[in-house]
Amino acid sequence: MAAIYEVRATHDGRVSSFGVRRTPDEAQALLEESRARVEAVGGQNDRYWVETIDTTGLFELPSKPPPRDRYTTRVTRTSPEGVWTTVHVDVLDGDRVVAAYDRNHSMYDTFEPFRQGDREFALIAPDYTATSVMDLTTGEIIAGEEPDPNGFCPVGFYVPDWWDLHDGSIPPGSLYWTDDMEWPRGDFGFVWGCMWGDDLSWKVQYLDLSRVEQGELVRDERFGYVELATHPKLNPQEFIRCSGHDGQLHVTFSTLQRFDLGTGWLLPNELG
């Protein structure tokens, strides 16, 4: 049996946790330290004990580093200076090239590795008017949109990784573990960019990645016309923040707003 050992206490019928250890001896030492710390400030609990938690079959924390920190790109311009930019992109796992593709525009932030379970993928955009998904094991594109000269042009991607939202300090099965802590799982993401000609600001849209292994990728405008306050020097999780509580999943965007300097009135979005 795989197990962890949690130090718990009760006070007026309420159960609290002082932390988790990997062995019974470590947990017993934590129990004694916790009891002494509480009594030193005049506190008192009704009971202390070590709870043995069988972790067999429970959620497993994803490995580190996240795919975003593991895979990088080496971008080489393939068009002469002074004309429309095209590039060749090598995908690197450390120093090893694991995949490659050509893109018919500048690179921007159009490479976002992510995982679903033990499989690793990347959002890419070989065509600047379409989002695609690459299997990082094979280097093959397994899902994507059809290019559309009048469509949505991606300039950046973000797929929240589990470690973007959690620090791993609460083990699965422990007292404070909740189902919300098993999310996200890499089945959704975000793309920012613009419709052709509407490049005064970047707009953000939703990507359904739940069926990419079946060759399906769906983008939708569920947030409306949202102008994202992004910057190349910022990490995506600094302007796109996801959270979950009691089964309710939320996203907070950093957005652009314009005001009349004289009156202070909020001005409408500039639609192109």
Sequence spans of domains, the chain: 3-54, 67-259
Q: What is the pLDDT of residues 199-232, one digit of tens each?
A: 788 999 999 999 999 999 999 999 998 999 998 8
Radius of gyration of the chain (CA): 24
pLDDT at 197: 74
Are 15 and 9 within 8 A, CB to CB?
yes
CA distance 139 to 141: 7
Give the strand pairing for 218-220 and 202-208: antiparallel
**Mean predicted confidence (pLDDT) in 147-168:** 95
Task: Output 101 or 233, whichever has higher pLDDT.
Answer: 101
Close Cβ partners of 68 (under 8 Å, ≥ 6 residues apart): 112, 113, 114, 161
pLDDT at 272: 43
CA distance 212 to 144: 8
